[in-house]
A and B are shown apart, each in its own frame.
Chain A
Amino acid sequence: MSFLSLNDISRTFGTTRAVAGVSLDVNQGEFFGLLGPSGCGKTTTLRMIAGLEKPDSGSILFQDKDITNLPPERRGFGMVFQNYALFPHLNVFENVAFGLRARHKRKEEMNERVNSALELVQLPNYGKRAIDQLSGGQQQRVAIARAIAIEPALLLFDEPLSNLDVSLREETRRELRELVTRLGLTAVYVTHDQEEAFALCDRISVMVGGKLMQTGRPRELYEQPSEISVACFLGRNNLIKAMRLSSSKTTDGEFKTLEGEHTLHLPVKHEDLAPLNKPVYLAIRPEHVELSTNNNAAENSLRGNIREIVFGGATSTVRVDANGLLIEALVLRTDALEVNQPCNVILSPDHLTLLK
Chain B
Amino acid sequence: MALLLVTAIVLLYGVIYPNLSVAVSSFQRAGTWTLANYTEILSQRIVLEAIVSSLGLSIATVFFCALVGIPLAFLFERYTFPGRRLFAAFAALPLVLPPLVGTVAFIYLVGESGILAHGIQNLLGLQNPPWRLRGWSALILFHTYTMYPFFYVLTGAGLRRIDASLAEAARSLGASKTTVLRRVLLPQLTPSLLAAALLTFMTSMASFSAPLLFGGDVRVLTLEIFTARQRGDFGIAITETVILAVISLGALFFFQRYEGTRRFAAAAMKGAPRRRASIASGPARVLATILAVVFAIVLVLPVATLFLVSFAREGSWTTQTIPSAYTVANYQRLFADPWAAEVFFNSVTMSAIAAVAALLWSFAVVTLLRRGRNEQKFFGEGWRRLLSLLVLVPWALPGTVVAVSVAEAYGGPSLLLGSFVLVGTFWILPVVYFLRFMPLVVRALQASMEQVDPTLEEAAGSLGARTWQRFMRVTLPLVWPGAVAGTLLAFVIALGEYVASVLVFVPANRPISIAIASELRDFKLGAAAAYGVVLIVIISISMIVAGRLERLRA
Closest to B470 in A: A73
Q: CB within 8 Å of B: which of A71-109?
A: 71-79, 81, 83, 85-89, 98-99, 101-103
Assess A85 versus B478: contact at CB under 8 Å? Given A73-B464, A102-B464: no
Nearest chain A residue, comparing its CB with the CB of B464: A102
* CB-CB contacts below 8 Å: B468-487 with A: 469, 473-474, 477-478
Q: Given the complex, which residues of A lie within 8 Å of B127, measured CB to CB?
A: none
Asked whether, in the complex, the Cβ of B463 is within 8 Å of the Cβ of A98, the reply is: yes
Quick check: A88 and B478 within 8 Å, CB to CB? Answer: yes
Which chain A positions have C-beta within 8 A of B463? 73, 78, 98-99, 102, 146-147, 150
Residue contact A72 to B473, C-beta cutoff 8 Å: no
Instruction: Tell me whether A72 and B478 are in contact (CB under 8 A).
Output: no
Candidates B458, B464, B466, B473; contact of A76 at CB < 8 Å: B464
Quote the shortest CB–CB distance from A19 to chain B (angstroms).
Answer: 17
A280-318 Cβ-contact flags toward B at 8 Å (1 or 0): 000000000000000000000000000000000000000
A99, B473: Cα distance in complex, Å:
11
30 A–B contact pairs at CB < 8 A?
A50-B458, A50-B462, A52-B458, A52-B462, A72-B458, A72-B461, A72-B462, A74-B464, A76-B464, A78-B462, A78-B463, A79-B462, A81-B455, A83-B453, A86-B459, A87-B460, A87-B474, A98-B460, A98-B473, A99-B463, A99-B465, A101-B473, A102-B463, A102-B464, A102-B465, A102-B466, A102-B469, A147-B462, A147-B463, A156-B462
Closest approach, in angstroms, between the C-beta of A13 and any C-beta of chain B? 9
Q: Binding site of B, secondary structure by majority: helix, strand, loop or mixed?
A: helix
A50 → B minimal CB distance (Å): 6
Question: Contact between A81 and B459 (Cβ–Cβ < 8 Å)?
Answer: yes
Q: How far is the CB of A187 from chain B (nearest CB, A)?
A: 14
CA distance A333 to B477 in the complex (A): 61
A225 proximal to B (CB < 8 A) = no
Within 8 Å of chain A (Cβ to Cβ): is B298? Answer: no
The answer on a CB contact under 8 Å between B465 and A52 is no
A81, B458: Cβ atoms under 8 Å? yes
Nearest CB of chain A from residue B454's CB, rounded to whole Å: 9
A76-B464, A101-B473, A150-B464 known; 17 new pairs, CB 8 Å cut-off, are A50-B462, A52-B462, A72-B458, A74-B464, A79-B458, A81-B458, A81-B459, A87-B460, A88-B478, A98-B463, A98-B465, A102-B466, A102-B473, A103-B464, A146-B463, A147-B462, A156-B462
Q: How far is the CB of B466 from chain A (nearest CB, A)?
A: 6
Q: A85 to chain B: which residues have CB within 8 Å?
A: 453, 455-456, 458-459
Closest Cβ of chain B to A102, distance in Å, is 4
Number of interface residues of A (CB under 8 A): 28
A residues less than 8 Å from B455 (CB atoms): 81, 83, 85
Residues of B within 8 A of A (CB): 453, 455-456, 458-466, 469, 473-474, 477-478
A71 to B469 CA separation, bound complex (whole angstroms): 14
- Taking a contact as CB atoms under 8 Å apart, the answer to whether A52 and B464 are in contact is no
At the interface, yes or no: A210 with Cβ under 8 Å from chain B?
A: no
Closest Cβ neighbor of A53 among chain B residues: B374
Q: Which residues of chain A have C-beta atoms less than 8 A from B460's C-beta?
A: 87, 98, 102
| A51 on the B face (CB < 8 A) | yes
Q: Give the distance in Å from the alpha carbon of A150 to the alpha carbon of B463 in the complex.
A: 7
Q: Which residues of B contact A81 (CB under 8 A)?
A: 455, 458-459
Query: In the complex, which residues of chain B have a beta carbon less than 8 angstroms from the beta carbon of A146?
Result: 459, 463
* A-side contacts of B464, CB under 8 Å: 73-74, 76, 99, 102-103, 150
Q: Which of B459, B460, B465 has the most CB of A within 10 A?
A: B459
Closest chain A residue, CB of each to CB of B463: A99
Cβ of B462 and Cβ of A77 under 8 Å apart?
yes
Instruction: List A204-233 residues whose CB lies under 8 Å from chain B.
Output: none
Residue of A nearest to B458 (CB): A52
Minimal Cβ-Cβ distance residue in A for B460: A98
Are A87 and B462 in touch, CB under 8 angstroms?
A: no
| 8 A-B pairs with the lowest CB-CB distances in the bound complex, closest first | A99-B463, A85-B459, A72-B461, A85-B455, A79-B462, A102-B465, A102-B464, A89-B477
Min distance, Cβ B325 to any Cβ of chain A, angstroms: 55
Q: How far is the CB of B393 from chain A (nearest CB, A)?
A: 29
